[in-house]
Every structure is written in C-alpha cells, then in structure tokens.
Homo-oligomer: A and B are copies of this chain.
Amino acid sequence: MSHLITDAATFAADAIDGFVAANPRYVRRVDGGVVRSTVIPRGRVALVVGGGSGHYPAFAGVVGPGLAAGAVCGNIFASPATGQVSRVARAVERGAGVLLSYGNYAGDVLQFGQAEERLRGEGYDVRTVVVTDDIASAPASERHRRRGIAGDLTVFKIAGAAAEAGLSLDEVERLARLANERTRSLGVAFSGCTLPGADAPLFTVEAGMMAVGLGIHGEPGLEDLPAPTARGLAELLVSRLLAELPDGVDQARGSRAVVLLNGLGTFKYEELFTVFGAVASELETAGVDVVDAVCGELVTSLDMSGVSLTLLWVTDELAELWVAPADSPAFRRSAIDAEIDDAAIEVADVATGAAGEVDDAEQQRAAASALDLLRTAHAAIIEGAEEFGRIDAVAGDGDHGIGMSRGVTGALAAGERVVAQGGGIVRLLAESGEAWSEHGGGTSGALWGMALASAGTSIAADRTESAAGAGAADAAPDARAVARAVAAALAGVQRLGKAEVGDKTLIDAFAPFAVELMSAVDRGETLAAAWSRAADAAQAAADATAQLEPALGRARTHARRSLGHPDAGAVSFARIVTAVGQSLQA
C-alpha cells in the first residue's frame, strides 16, 4: 500500500469516487456511500451493508441486483457515521423496510445501532443482523461477541437473494440470521498492512510465522505457528472449523457447505489456489459435500497477507438462495445458462510416438551411445542448475536452471524409453527433443527440443544417403555425420529462435562450437578431439557474452542489468558440450 503520494484525509472518499466512476452500471454515489444505480422495485426489502473502507470488495463491491441495495462506506478501517448509514438507507428504502447487516465491531455497532433508532423514529421498519463468523475472536459460548470477517459475504448473499425474491422483511431477517448462525470462519495472517500515506505497517507478523486468528485490523488471534505447507494450512483451518459445527449440522449424517477461501490482499491467487486444492481434499475426506465454492479476494485488509476459510453450512433453503443469480462489481452468480459437458475429453498427444518398429542393431548401438551422452548432459545440467539460475536472474527471470533441469530430465526419460524399446538414434533424438520441449517449456525448452529434433533429422537423412551407397564405412564419416547433425541443430535453433551471433543468446556459443567441430573433423581429428576443441571455443564465446549488449529481440531480458554478465543460455550450452567432450574422451 501507499505506493503513491496519498492524502490520508481524502483517500477513502477518492477511492469510492473512483470505484463509482469505474462501475456506473452497478452503483452511484450518495452522501455516505454507494447505492444501486439500477432500479430497485417498490416493495422490495433493502439490504444495506457497510463498515470501514480498506476491505474491498467489502463493502461497495457487493452492491447490485441479488445482493446489497446500498453500502455505507466509512473511512479506512473506521466505521461509518450514523448520518451516513441513515442517508444510504433512506436512498434505497422502497416501502418494505431495511435490513442493516455488517461485521460485529464496536464502532459499527454503535453507529449502525444509532441509525436504526433514528430510521425507526422516522417511521421506517429497520432490522439488524450483525455478522459474527470469526471463531478465533471469542469462544463458542459467546458467539455474539465474535467479529465478522469473510462470513459477511455469505450473510449478505443470502439476505440479498431473499430480498431479490421479494420476501418480506421478517423473512429476509430470518434468513440472514440463519445464514449467520450457520457461518463459521477462521483466518491466518503472514504480514500486516500499511494505511494509506503511512510509512510503516499498522502491525506486523514475525517473519516465517503465521498468526492464527489474527483479525483483519490486527486484532489478537489464538496463537502464532511456523508457516506451514498448503496442506498443513488446510488441515488446520478445516479441522478447527469442523470442531465447531452449528446446531443442526451433523457431519456424520452428510453435511453440505458453501466454501469460501478468501485472500486478504497480498496472499495471491496462485498460492491461494494451492491452499484451496488442499482444503477441498480435506473436506472430501471429512465427508463434507461442497455445494459451491468461491476462491479469491472477498474481504481484504489493504495489503495484508493472509487467508481465511469460511464454511456456510447450508439447508436446502440456504443452498437455493446461495446459487440464485446476483450481479455486483465484485461478486456475481451468473444467469448464463451453460450446460456442463460430461463427455470424456481426448487429449492424447497424437504427435508423440508410441513404441515404433525395432531399429537395426547399428542404429540401436548409436542410440545407446547417444543416451550415454544425454546422461552426461543431464548430470552437467543438474550440477549447474543453481548457477544457471543465478546467472539468469541477473538478466532474466531466473528460471533457466529449473527449466533446463526439467527439460533434460524429461529428455533422458524419453531416451531411456526409446532404447528400452529397441529404438534407434533417430527416434531417440526425435522423442528426447519432444520431451525436452514439453518438460522444459519456455524458450530454452523449445530451442533444445528443436536442436535434438534437427540433429535427428540430419542423421536420418545421412542414413538414407548412406543406404543409397554414398557413405563410407570407416570412422571419419561418423564424426562428419555428428558434425553435420550439430550444424543442422544450430540451423534449427536459429530458424526457430531467430537470433544471430552477437545477440547474447546461446547462439553465441553454439555457432562457434558447430564451426570449430566441423573444421576440426574436416582436418581429420577424431570426434573426441574435435568435440573438445569445439567445446573450448564454446566456453570462450560464452564468457565473451558478458561484454555484449543484450539482444533487442529478447523481450524477457533486463537489458540494463545484463551488461557485464554472461548469457545463461550460452553458459549452459558451453557447460553441456564441455561435459560431453570429456565423456567422449574417456
């Protein structure tokens, strides 16, 4: 938070104004908060929610058909005032009364409570359902003292759907209260949040620790534990929520729940999804039937890092209201009717060769030799992976080591499969190349996959030629065939990657390697000697890439930072061919 220069005095109001400007189809601004910009029919109960700002989508984000009629927006982390609540309520009352609903915090209770009195004094029928879902904030015996956190959403959704269905205020109140009775949440936090314009966080959580039950404004929780795995976190949250089932829910007799997994601000989506996967699996093990789920940011705390799990234990009535259509800026249940496709999907990879015909013995021997070299390359890459990553982190996204490791591991497995099946060198190179690309991903996966595949194609062509009688039987042609295959691999990589020598890519090492190998073989050197000489050239060229300006075309490069550092792709190339050269000489 607070990346911009911010005036704390106007920040909350500016944020609401901007929110309204971005969402005119949903909301319009009134003094005190926002109300639906769409028609609310006469005779419909008005759900008015609210609280402090800083919790978006709570509260302005859930205004719209099927949800809240209006949201009262206080300052950052501060309850709105009585007058604000009253004005928002008056703006949306349509003759059927108002349900006020908000999280159970002292300031909100005071201000909304005074507003309720005031509105009643003006002749409106007004009820209140305070959300108390946070099991960490008070024992079960004192549920009325518990805070409201992400369970706000389940109560609001049920109440909003009941209002949208045209139910009376009595009914809307009853259902909202039932939803609150059946909603339980527990959250954990990993870091605090910083108020707009502030220099330091409002509170902190010790690094590497997780504060269980810490409130969304830093209120005290239950205990501090070391940060767990996704699975460990899911076990903790699910087990504690299952330990306190609402009246009428019997886990053993089949219980159904709506599941909300809420990110608090900087616990981002991908990590949140890993936790959700573990939560779903824990709930399945516990025999809970998940009626529906929402996994995202629902009730945040500015830039706080944390996650909360909410379970709404549904009755048939609640389940129906939960899935009813709703449309608000941040939470929607679609009215688009899309049928689930339960046909099996065929995604087998047509291009990946199944066990082909068995190749001849010479081809098999060549495949076995190539597999040995692939093992050498594998060992060299695994050993160098961390260093490749470090070099890449200077100029790129630091994943060159892990990408190369994944790629060569996949390639080696494919090669071993081919050899075990009696395949020859051409099939080995084709399938290892495919696997390298597949497992490595990214640019390096594509390029190394292409290199192997192109080498295979060259050898296949040589074999055809040789079968036609043009080849000789002595050792020299083998070395020349290898040199030609390397040249073909280089050509393939250049065709695919479109890089030239001097662009600060692996081509800078690959090109001198291929040239030196060819000329040494042409001079009659053995393959092992020629390869080692070429590897030395590759290494020198890789080192020299430190002096090069980065290639313009490499969109993922930190151009400015890579000056003075070698290119990771060239370094890993040189390392691999050097290791292979040593293996050939042994």
Contact = CB atoms under 8 A, between A and B. Distances in A.
A36 to B, nearest CB: 7
A33 to B, nearest CB: 10
Number of copies of this kind of chain in the complex: 2
A218 interface: yes
Most buried by B among A22, A88, A275: A22
Given A114-B496, A228-B5, A332-B334, A268 B265 contact: yes
Nearest to A334: B327
Interface size band for A? 35 or more
Given A39-B341, A107-B443, A274 B227 contact: no
Given A230-B14, A274-B18, A336 B347 contact: no
A66 B338 CA distance: 11
Given A22-B295, A104-B555, A443 B110 contact: yes
Contacts of A191: 3
Given A118-B351, A340-B37, A552-B145, A442 B227 contact: no
Interface stretch (A368-376, A477-485, A509-517, A556-564): A556-564
Most buried by B among A106, A145, A443, A554: A106
Interface string A1-40: 1111110110110111111011101001011100111111
Contacts of A303: 266, 268
A219 B22 contact: no
A5 B270 CA distance: 14
A106 B270 contact: no
B437 A111 contact: yes
Contact of A91 (B1, B66, B106, B346): B346
- A interface, by DSSP: helix, strand, loop or mixed? mixed
Nearest to A259: B22
Given A196-B270, A442-B79, A65 B336 contact: yes
Nearest to A22: B295
B28 A399 contact: no
Interface string A490-511: 0000001100000000000000
A57 interface: yes
Contacts of A165: none
Contact of A203 (B272, B275, B558): B558
9 contacts: A1-B266, A4-B230, A5-B227, A19-B295, A56-B273, A75-B402, A105-B556, A114-B437, A219-B558
**10 closest Cβ pairs, A-B complex:** A18-B277, A18-B273, A22-B295, A110-B446, A56-B269, A38-B338, A3-B190, A78-B442, A107-B443, A15-B270
